[in-house]
Structure 1
Amino acid sequence: METVKTAVHFTDNYLISPTNPIEVNLIGAGGTGSKVLTALMEMSHSLTELGHAGLQVRLWDDDVITEANLGRQRFAPSETGLYKSVALINRVNRFMGTNWKAETQKFERNNFGGLPENAKATIYITCVDNVQARFDIAEMLKEMTNDRNYRNTPKYWVDFGNSQNIGQVILSTIGEIKQPNSEKYQTVASLPMVTDEFGELLTQSEQSDDTPSCSLAEALEKQDLYINATLAQMGCSLLWSMFRYGMTQYRGFFLNLKDFRSQPLGLP
Structure 2
Amino acid sequence: MLELGHPGGIECTVYDDDRVSPTNVGRQGFYPNDVGQYKAALIVNRINMLMGTNWEARTSRVNSGSNLHAADLVIGCVDTRAARRAILQSLTYGRGYYLDCGNDADTGQVILGHAPGVGAGRFPHVGDLFPELVDPRGDAADETPSCSMADALRKQSLVINQAIAVQAFNLLWTMFRTGRVPFSGFFVNLKTGRTSPVPLDPSAWARFGFEVPKPAANKKARKSPKTSAAL
TM bucket by the smaller chain? 0.7 to 0.9
2:90 match: secondary structure: helix
Deviation per CA, 1:197-240, whole angstroms, max 9, x where unpaired?
2113665697235578554xx11234311111111111111111
Task: Map 1:81-92 to 2 at 5 A.
Answer: 81-92=36-47
Deviating above 4 A after TM superposition, structure 1's stretches of 4 or more consecutive aligned residues are: 201-206, 209-214
1:164 match: secondary structure: coil
TM-score, normalised to structure 2, is: 0.77
Whether the 8 Å contact between 1:165 and 1:256 is mirrored in structure 2 is yes
From 173, 190, 198, the equivalent of 2:122 is 190
2:113 aligned residue: 172
2:179 aligned residue: 246
**Aligned sequence identity (%):** 40
Unmatched segments (≥5 aa) in structure 1: 1-46, 110-114, 146-153, 178-187
Tell me the CA shift for residue 106 of structure 1. Answer: 0.3
Whether the 8 Å contact between 1:164 and 1:221 is mirrored in structure 2 is no
1:49 match: secondary structure: coil
Structure with bigger helix share is: 1
1:59 aligned residue: 14
What is the distance in 2 between the residues matched to 1:208 and 1:221?
A: 13
Tell me the CA shift for residue 117 of structure 1. Answer: 5.6
Which AA in structure 1 matches 2:49?
R
Query: Does residue 141 of the first structure (1) align with residue 91 of the second (2)?
Result: yes
Deviation per CA, 1:247-266, whole angstroms, max 9, x where unpaired?
22310010001221011001
Deviation per CA, 1:71-93, whole angstroms, max 9, x where unpaired?
11111111111111011111111
Tell me whether 49-58 or 89-98 shows the greater mean CA deviation.
Answer: 49-58
1:236 aligned residue: 169
Distance 1:117 1:202, change over 3 A: closer
Tell me the CA shift for residue 48 of structure 1. Answer: 0.9
Distance 1:155 1:214, change over 3 A: closer
1:247 match: secondary structure: coil
What is the distance in 1 between the residues matched to 2:185 and 2:68?
A: 27
Deviation per CA, 1:95-119, whole angstroms, max 9, x where unpaired?
111110100000114xxxxx23677
2:49 aligned residue: 94
Distance 1:68 1:198, change over 3 A: same
Which AA in structure 2 matches 1:224?
S
TM-score, normalised to structure 1, is: 0.67
Q: Provide the aligned C-alpha RMSD in A.
A: 2.4
From 110, 120, 143, the equivalent of 1:208 is 143
What is the distance in 1 between the residues matched to 2:76 and 2:46?
A: 20
2:72 aligned residue: 122
Tell me the CA shift for residue 193 of structure 1. Answer: 1.6
Unmatched segments (≥5 aa) in structure 2: 203-231
Distance 1:119 1:60, change over 3 A: farther
Structure with bigger strand share is: 1
Quick one: higher RCO (CA 8 Å, sep 6+), 1 or 2? 1
Whether the 8 Å contact between 2:22 and 2:32 is mirrored in structure 1 is yes
1:236 match: secondary structure: helix
1:252 match: secondary structure: strand
Aligned residues: 196
Whether the 8 Å contact between 2:101 and 2:110 is mirrored in structure 1 is yes
Which AA in structure 2 matches 1:228?
N
